Structure 1
Amino acid sequence: MKAAIHYIRALLVAALATGAIASVVQTQLNLAELIRLGAPVTLSVRLWTTLEDLARFAPVMAGIAFLALSFAVLAGHWVLRFIPPSWRRLGFITASVCGLGFVFWLMRSVIPMPALPGTRTAVGHVLMSLTGIVGGWLYARLSAPSVMTARSSSRGGEWRQAGVVAVLIAAPAMLFFAMAPGTGDTPARVDSASYKVQTVATGLNRPWSVAFLPDGRVLVTEMQGRLLAIAADGASAQIKLDGLPPIFQQGGTAGLMEVALDPQFEHNGWLYLTMAYGEAGANGTRLVRATLANDRLDDVRVLFSSTLKPRAGNNGGRIAFLRDQTLVLALGDGSERREEAQNPANDLGTLVRIDREGHPPADNPFMGKTDVAPEIYSLGHRNVQGIAVDPTTGDLLITEHGARGGDEVNRIVPGANYGWPIVTGGIDYPFAKITPFTRLPGYQNALLEWTPSIAPAGLAIYDGPLFPQWQGDLLVPSLKERAVRRVVRNGQQIVGQQLLLGELDERMRDVKGAPDGSIYVLTDGVDAKLLRVMP
């Protein structure tokens, strides 16, 4: 028992020290990227950001280090049987560095989003792994036989060491919970007696988008590559996708996404689809146009293919038609190198504007500029998942996924920069700072921000006759909050929020206003539903 407590104490001290040093290293790597992008990182900003990460991220990193070092020290003790005692310290240091490096690699391989931003590059991965030197050295020193013998012989040593272990566990946990972001305010729910919900279809497999055909049927995309036409009675027909280019599909992360009809659909039959293309290590978002006739696609044409990215996440994929009938396509930052959202030479983390033949219009804001992709309409976006044109003003509005918080509603100004990842209200998934800045001159401020995240997955602006009190309000389906947010507006000013369909406790993927004024909602997942909301 005494020996076990001593070993656990040594391991905890090593993990806490490694977590603290790795936190400092990651913070400096992250700030270096922001400085490269032109962020005004002063010495005081650097110091405060480092301290904040030490309080909130270092305990998380210590937990990761504890896991890695546990396997490393077991390997080190096994190796001790084959090496001279003088090599003991070197053996634990080597095992700790290798253990951390392996765990970082494993996390990058199995977690869709970059789990630790400091390990995104080869240099960062090496530097973060080298923090194991301190952990290995401390464990070797504190678990040395001479130290163990001295502590075991001290009076009351066992209870004292148990108390030290308890403090080593409790202190970082308390610090983390003291610094962790709050739960936020939950808005009031719309009275469920004021509307009724009709289930139009069930058993949908990861549906993503809804569009309305003139014959009354509803088009629904499924991410694995199906396009369904669903009638009011729930009967569905599968649209034949002959001639469609190959779709890159990966679970609920990538696949067939948006479906939208051309503004002149009744005359030309044009339909637009977005989809992931490529492969796991090099994929992007593609926009195609086709003619829909007799429940099949003909004359399929690729209009746009985005810059390839090394991860399947953050694809964007929503489209909207402006009043001049050009279309805007949302593209995510690709999640691996979020700084690419500030690189105008590619189209990651941007909105792009093209005409219906796939060409950038002559009045695009960056047309004719060197080292800027001419199709870019705005930049500095993380992952736009909702896009709609205000029928009253013609304004283009978007909803955008943040990381852990920092979800946004934005009004798009052509040529403007929306700040990601230099400016955001969110933090990283492992609770580290993305940036110390929530606002900066030269970057557009959000109309509305949600922290903690609600995971907005779409956007509709209601303008139908069935809910006159909702005219002009935003409807935002949310995955994490498992409801549809009604963002109440007075003119263009946001004056309140309510929750719709929260009683269903379903992840919400898309929402669209139907021609008759009812509201269609897609739930998310492998057994999802198409719902119709009416008074």
Structure 2
Amino acid sequence: MKFSARYIAAFLAAVVATGAIVSLVQTQIVLGQLVEFDAPVTASLRAWTTLEDLARFGPVMVAIAIAALLPAVLVGHGAMRAVPPAWRAAIFAAASVGGLWIAFWLMRSVIPMPAIPGTRGPLGHLLMSLTGIVGGLLYTRLTSPAHREQQAEARLSWRYATMAAALVIVPAVSFFAMAPGAGDKPDGVDPASYTVQTVFTGLNRPWSMAFLPDGRTLVTEMGGRLRAIAADGTSLDIALEGLPPIFQQGGVIGLMEVALDPQFEQNGWLYLTMGYGEAGANGTRLVRVRLAGDKIEDVRVLFSSTLKPRAGNNGGRIAFLGDGTLVLSLGDGSARREEAQNPANHLGTVVRLDREGKPPADNPFMQQPGTAPEIYSLGHRNAQGIAVDPTTGDLLVTEHGARGGDEINRIVPGGNYGWPVVTGGIDYPFARVTPFHRLEGYQDAVLEWTPSIAPAGLAVYDGALFPEWRGDLLVPALKERAVRRVLRDGRRIVGQQLLLADLNERMRDLKVAPDGSIYILTDGIDAKLLRLTPPSRNG
């Protein structure tokens, strides 16, 4: 009993110390990256951010340290059978460093989003793994025979049991006290004000849709399939021979956007976005094709983005501006989020091209040496909704934050939208991305959602069927499993409501059809194409 309590308490002390040190190190790595962008990181701001991370991210790191150091401690005890006692401290310190290094490596390899941002680079990975030295040495000290002899035998069990309980309770209380709340849900739109029709079922990871003049709806599936779905629910596959190879990985990347050229009835052009490359070096590609019946022809690659080392955060949405140019959203590459502030590449940008794939002469970075001339705006994380307001001509995008910080942004040429220097969100393991919510020189969001709703698309309603909705924004949300109606008075946001929350489906895309009805794609491997009309209208 005494032996067990002592070793458990020593192990918990080691993992708590390790978690705290890892938190301190990561915060300094993240703040150091912000300083490189001339962010005003003062001493007091650094201290407060460090303490905040220690309270909220530190407990998460303690849980990770438990999983990493438990096998390390067992390996250390096994190794002690074959080495002199003088090696005891070195053995446990080395085993703890190795356990952390392997744990961080596994998390980087398996989890799509960077689980521990400080470990994204080799140096950060090494520095954070080296914090295992503290845990290994502390465990060695607390379990050494000399330490035990210093304690009163009668008090050993009580002392170590109390220590073990405190080492579990304190981080748990700290985490729950600092964790962000669930947030308030807006009221729902009266379900009696619309009718939901299921047009098609059984879609496999659909991503985007577009309306053909003959009344059919084109739908992309991420695995590389393009379907033409009629109003009666019949479906025809469009043959995609000649399309360049598509890099597809689950529901993260693959065949994504489909959009019709503004002069489609004259030229038959479709635009498709898709993943290209491979797992460790992939990007987003824009391709133009001509639709000829049930097949494509005249395939032309217009643009290929900067390669990135992870499959996540690809953007991939297209819109056409009033001058005939097109804009394409591109994600930050996930593991290389700071590149969203680097105008020398396409990561974390909206690019603007003519319909031959060339950057227009008036692009904001066109005349700046060392920059990517296609860039229209930068500082985006992962914009998966894009639309042009038909009344004002504004270009609007929705983009995913991390844990919170989802945004609607109004794009101005050359604008910097802040990621990752400015955001209202925090990292997935609850650490600060940045202490700055707003900062001079960066564009403020029109609307922010924290907690995250995961906005996956965007439409400005301008149809005739729901006249009271004209000018409002419609945002399909994956995490929230609903559609947000963002009510506007001109450009001013005056409220929000939820649509289709009762279906409890992840919503992937939303488009307003020419007749004013609203088409919605749900997400996943058995997804649906839905159509919304007023109650009196079923056709």
Give the TM-score taking structure 1 as reference length. 0.99
The alpha carbon displacement at 1:226 in A equals 0.1
Determine the structure 1 residue equivalent to 2:451: 452
2:72 alignment partner, SS class: helix
For the pair 1:51 / 2:54, whether they are aligned, the reply is no
**Structure 1 residue matching 2:463: 3-state secondary structure:** coil
- Structure 1 residue identity aligned to 2:400: H
Q: Secondary structure at the match of 2:154?
A: coil
What are the residue-to-residue correspondences of 1:11-410 with 2, within 5 Å?
11-148=11-148, 151=151, 154-410=153-409
CA contact (8 A) 1:3 1:148 kept: no
Aligned to 2:498: 499
The answer to whether the 8 A contact 1:119-1:128 is kept is yes
Q: Deviations over 1:124-180 (max 9, x none)?
A: 1110000000000000111113334555x5324323322221111111110111111
**Within 2, Cα distance between the matches of 1:90 and 1:419?**
45
**Counterpart-to-counterpart distance in 2, 1:365 and 1:92:** 56
Aligned-partner Cα distance in 1 for 2:59–2:497: 36
Q: Deviations over 1:216-241 (max 9, x none)?
A: 00000000000000011111000000
C-alpha displacement of 1:263: 0.3
Query: Matched residues in 1 for 2:330 and 2:14: separation?
Result: 43
Q: Distance in 2 between matches of 1:140 and 1:161?
A: 15
Distance of 1:69 and 1:508 partners within structure 2: 40
Q: CA RMSD in A?
A: 0.9
Query: Which deviates more, 34-43 or 334-343?
Result: 34-43
CA distance in structure 2 between the aligned counterparts of 1:160 and 1:518, rounded to whole angstroms: 69
Does the 8 Å contact 2:228/2:236 carry over to 1? yes
1:192 shift after superposition: 1.2
Per-residue CA deviation, residues 104-131 of structure 1 (Å, 9 max, x unaligned), is 0000000001111111111111100000
Q: How far off its partner does 1:295 sit?
A: 1.3
Q: How many residues align?
A: 534
> Which letter maps to 1:77?
H
Verify the 8 A CA contact 2:189 2:498 in the aligned structure 1: yes
In the TM superposition, what is the alpha-carbon distance from 1:461 to its structure 2 partner?
0.5
Structure 1 CA distance for aligned equivalents of residues 210 and 291 of structure 2: 13
Match of 1:438 in 2: 437
**Partner amino acid, structure 1, of 2:396:** L
Mapped partners of 1:126, 1:368: distance in 2: 40
SS in 2 for 1:419: coil
Runs of 5+ unmatched residues, structure 1: none
Q: CA deviation at 1:294?
A: 0.9
CA contact (8 A) 2:386 2:457 kept: yes
Separation in 2 of the partners of 1:297 and 1:34?
Answer: 46
Could you tell me whether the CA contact under 8 Å between 1:247 and 1:256 is conserved in 2?
A: yes
Report if the CA contact (8 A) 1:222-1:257 is conserved.
yes
With the length of structure 2 as denominator, give the TM-score of the two structures.
Answer: 0.98
In the aligned structure 2, how far is the partner of 1:107 from the partner of 1:360?
39
Secondary structure of the corresponding residue to residue 301 of structure 1: strand
CA contact (8 A) 2:351 2:377 kept: yes
Q: Secondary structure at the match of 1:430?
A: coil
Whether the aligned pair in 1 keeps the contact of 2:353 and 2:374 (CA below 8 Å) is yes
